[in-house]
């Protein structure tokens, strides 16, 4: 009997400090923002919230500081029904923050100050081993120390869960981590950094995805925004077209994609249908401000893709 179920996320939790600007400014220039907001974010927390909004049973493994941001974030997760048993509150650390600028096209620039996220080490991952052993899918990113991602991925992989790695922010991926992941999901920029190759079009990105397979990835999903997503495996490739929407804020579109892809798989979709579902959910997520507020519910995502 398969007793694994739900989605486990190991990763970062940030408070996003967001300035909305007309356009990105140059070094030395002072500009006035149109608006400022704080939102809960961080790639790990975003993926947990997206999966929870899509109706999945979610466990979050990570760290926040013992400050007001940490308390606010924990409450946001608990209000969504996310299991925070393995969410540590570290009194001596600040919660991670992300300084985000969003221009009027909805594009963003992000600077992350890790704070408590830097304490998500291997020992903390091992404490959560039961969560990794029993989940149906594990979502990882690279905003927390890579040793914890390796430990979590290996436990989940050997237990038979689907392991999905978002290589963001881009940095070299250890072979052990690649070996324990079923899918690696870079966007264009991350794919270019990881391979040193041109990724500016889907056609150009194909050899780069193949190079990532040669480096040890089992399957690559290159997230390309409204252009769609390119799936490359050792035996083939498919381009799944994206949906054009009026983008207000593209922050966390990639996080929504990964959570929705995992959700699709957990709902019994094959990987092609799960990618189409993820393209749709990610498109909905960019139609509102902030990382998490415009992430769709399951009903909204299904209504959009149908």
Residues carrying an active site annotation = 255
> Considering the rule CB under 6 A, would residue 255 count as an interface residue with ligand RIB?
yes
Question: Pick from 175, 178, 187, 191: which is nearest to 217 by CA?
Answer: 178
How many residues bind ligand RIB (CB under 6 A)? The answer is 16
| Rounded least distance, CB 11 to ligand RIB, Å | 9
Q: What are the φ and ψ backbone dihedral angles of 111, each rounded to 5 degrees?
A: -120, 125
Query: How far is residue 13 from each of residues 39, 41, 58, 179, measured CA to CA in Å?
Result: 11, 6, 15, 26
Q: What are the φ and ψ backbone dihedral angles of 296, each rounded to 5 degrees?
A: -80, 155
Q: Where are the alpha helices (H) located in the chain, listed in sequence order? A: 43-53, 68-79, 122-127, 129-134, 146-159, 175-180, 188-195, 202-214, 253-266, 271-285, 298-305
Give the binding range for ligand RIB (CB under 6 A) out of 128-136, 154-162, 198-206, 249-257. Answer: 249-257
- Nearer CB in complex with ligand RIB: 173/291: 291
A 10 A CB-CB count for 180 gives 23
> Considering the rule CB under 6 A, would residue 14 count as an interface residue with ligand RIB?
yes
Query: How far is residue 220 from each of residues 172, 229, 289, measured CA to CA in Å?
Result: 15, 10, 29
Rounded CA gap, 210 and 112, in Å?
30
Give the binding range for ligand RIB (CB under 6 A) out of 42-50, 69-77, 187-195, 196-204. Answer: 42-50
Q: Which two tokens stand for residue 92?
A: 């001596």
Residues 126 to 165: which contact ligand RIB by CB under 6 A? 143
> Considering the rule CB under 6 A, would residue 41 count as an interface residue with ligand RIB?
yes
Q: Which two tokens stand for residue 260?
A: 């929705």
- Nearer CB in complex with ligand RIB: 6/42: 42
Give the binding range for ligand RIB (CB under 6 A) out of 10-18, 146-154, 194-202, 208-216. Answer: 10-18
Say if CB 69 and CB 63 are below 8 A apart. Answer: no
Give the binding range for ligand RIB (CB under 6 A) out of 76-84, 185-193, 251-259, 268-276. Answer: 251-259
- Nearer CB in complex with ligand RIB: 31/111: 111
> Considering the rule CB under 6 A, would residue 98 count as an interface residue with ligand RIB?
yes
| Rounded least distance, CB 95 to ligand RIB, Å | 11
Q: State whether residue 229 is helix, strand or coil.
A: strand
> Considering the rule CB under 6 A, would residue 110 count as an interface residue with ligand RIB?
yes
- Nearer CB in complex with ligand RIB: 75/109: 109
> Considering the rule CB under 6 A, would residue 115 count as an interface residue with ligand RIB?
no
Task: Out of 252, 260, 265, 284, point to the residue binding ligand RIB (CB under 6 A).
Answer: 252
> Considering the rule CB under 6 A, would residue 42 count as an interface residue with ligand RIB?
yes
Say if CB 107 and CB 188 are below 8 A apart. Answer: no
Q: Which residues bind ligand RIB (CB under 6 A)?
A: 12, 14, 16, 41-43, 46, 98, 110, 112, 143, 251-252, 254-255, 291
């Amino acid at each position: 009997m398969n007793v694994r179920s739900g989605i486990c996320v190991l990763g970062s939790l940030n408070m996003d400090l967001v300035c909305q600007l007309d356009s990105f400014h140059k070094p030395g220039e002072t500009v006035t923002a149109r608006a400022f907001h704080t939102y809960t974010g961080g790639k790990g927390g975003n993926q947990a919230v997206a999966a929870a909004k899509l109706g999945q049973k979610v466990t979050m493994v990570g760290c926040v500081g013992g400050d007001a941001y940490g308390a606010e974030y924990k409450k946001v997760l608990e209000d969504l029904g996310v299991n925070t048993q393995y969410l540590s509150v570290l009194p001596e650390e600040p919660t991670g923050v992300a300084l985000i600028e969003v221009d009027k096209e909805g594009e963003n620039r992000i600077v992350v100050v890790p704070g408590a996220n830097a304490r998500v080490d291997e020992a903390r991952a091992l404490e959560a081993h039961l969560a990794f052993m029993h989940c149906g899918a594990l979502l990882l990113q690279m905003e927390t120390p890579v040793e914890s991602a390796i430990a979590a991925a290996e436990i989940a992989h050997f237990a038979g869960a689907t392991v999905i790695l978002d290589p963001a922010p881009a940095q070299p991926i250890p072979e052990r981590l690649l070996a324990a992941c079923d899918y690696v999901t870079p966007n264009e920029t991350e794919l270019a950094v990881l391979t040193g190759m041109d990724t500016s079009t889907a056609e150009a990105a194909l050899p780069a995805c193949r190079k990532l397979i040669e480096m040890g990835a089992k399957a690559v999903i290159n997230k390309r925004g409204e252009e769609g997503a390119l799936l490359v495996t050792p035996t083939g490739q498919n381009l799944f077209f994206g949906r054009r929407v009026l983008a207000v804020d593209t922050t966390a579109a990639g996080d929504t994609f990964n959570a929705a892809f995992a959700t699709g798989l957990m709902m019994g979709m094959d990987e092609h249908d799960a990618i189409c579902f993820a393209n749709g959910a990610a498109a909905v997520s960019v139609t509102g401000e902030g990382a998490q507020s415009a992430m769709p519910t399951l009903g909204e995502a299904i209504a959009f893709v149908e």
